[in-house]
Structure 1
Amino acid sequence: MAVSKRIPVEISREGHSTHGELAWSDEFLLGYPAMDDTHRDFVCCVVALRDASETEFFGRLQDMVTHCEQHFDQEAQWMRTTEFPAAQCHMDEHEAVLRSLRAALQFIAKGGAHSRVASVALALADWFPGHATYMDAALSHWISKRTFGGIPVVLRRQLPSISPGSARSEEGG
């Protein structure tokens, strides 16, 4: 029997793996408000899945699948209506994510141990920053160019990265 090693993944605000956290920050803003709102919701779903107890996990995983289906369908619609050149590659990546999520959901539905698929949340946290930075940023720019004649200007606040549940001191640190 093969034993898989679990490697904890944390995503910092710059999008680099650093051991287990994913939190929304302005670094993820792409300048297309509907996409930015959907991405904010995605991050919330990933955090909810990652932080779910064993009894909550199946429901949170169902929520994640539903969110991703709607999220990816919306992006596919944008790609079709704007004739985005890299649409197939982008949609193929979305389909791979959905296949993995659905497989995890099916595994648990058939009585599989939550602990065997709990790392799916960490995999999503590891995948999202790169996907957003490259594929979704390209789509955001494409939509903006087609709609407004230029790429969006995005102003990002330089806020300290704060993990969910961590306390700030009175000095703001």
Structure 2
Amino acid sequence: MSDRRHASDAPPAADFAAQLGYAPMDSIHAEFEELLRRGRIATAGNWLPLLVELDAHLRSHFEAENRWMIDTDFPPRDCHIDEHAAVLKSSAEVLQLASAGDFGAAPSFLESLADWFPGHAAYLDSALAAWMCKRQFGGRPVVLHRPTKAQTA
């Protein structure tokens, strides 16, 4: 897998911490980021269990976000839900291949998720987090960021 940088407005996937100020979403994102980190060091022997765990996580992750959007009548929910559906379709296809012993698509799928996630979180999920906080607490989320080790080095 490459260690390429992402767009200047999103940190590299390995360093991205999707703290958006809505605790349930932040927790789900932390779990997802851990799966992405594990994918960066996956070997042939652990691809299938990782992909099974990742697919289950994605289904649960997106189900929670979709439910929040539908239950609260989040205005731009349709494109967000459609994006989730596209990722789930890809995950199912990669998992099907891996279940048949073909792990060729797994590394690029994980890399694609790592490339996709910072932008998705920064734009779509951050809007949902703000919406949920406004409804629950009456205002926008406040997130304090500490510099990472890489930023202070």
TM-score, normalization by structure 2: 0.89
Residue 15 of structure 1 pairs with residue 14 of structure 2: no
Q: What RMSD, in angstroms, separates the aligned Cα atoms of the two structures?
A: 2.2
Counterpart secondary structure, 1:71: helix
User: What is the 5 A alignment of 1:36-115?
Assistant: 36-112=26-102, 114-115=103-104
User: What is the 5 A alignment of 1:118-129?
Assistant: 118-129=107-118
CA distance, structure 1, for counterparts of residue 66 and residue 138 of structure 2: 21
TM-score, normalization by structure 1: 0.79
CA distance, structure 1, for counterparts of residue 130 and residue 33 of structure 2: 21
**Does the aligned pair in 2 maintain the 1:141–1:151 contact within 8 Å?**
yes
Give the number of aligned pairs. 152
Residue 155 of structure 1 pairs with residue 144 of structure 2: yes
Counterpart secondary structure, 1:22: helix
After the TM superposition, list the runs of 4 or more consecutive aligned residues in structure 1 that deviate by more than 3 angstroms.
9-14
- In the TM superposition, what is the alpha-carbon distance from 1:16 to its structure 2 partner? 4.4
CA distance, structure 2, for counterparts of residue 91 and residue 11 of structure 1: 27
Which blocks of at least 5 consecutive residues in structure 1 are unaligned? 1-6, 163-171
CA distance, structure 1, for counterparts of residue 143 and residue 11 of structure 2: 20
Pick 1 or 2: higher relative contact order, CA cutoff 8 A, min separation 6.
Answer: 2
Counterpart secondary structure, 2:87: helix
Percentage of pairs with the same residue: 37
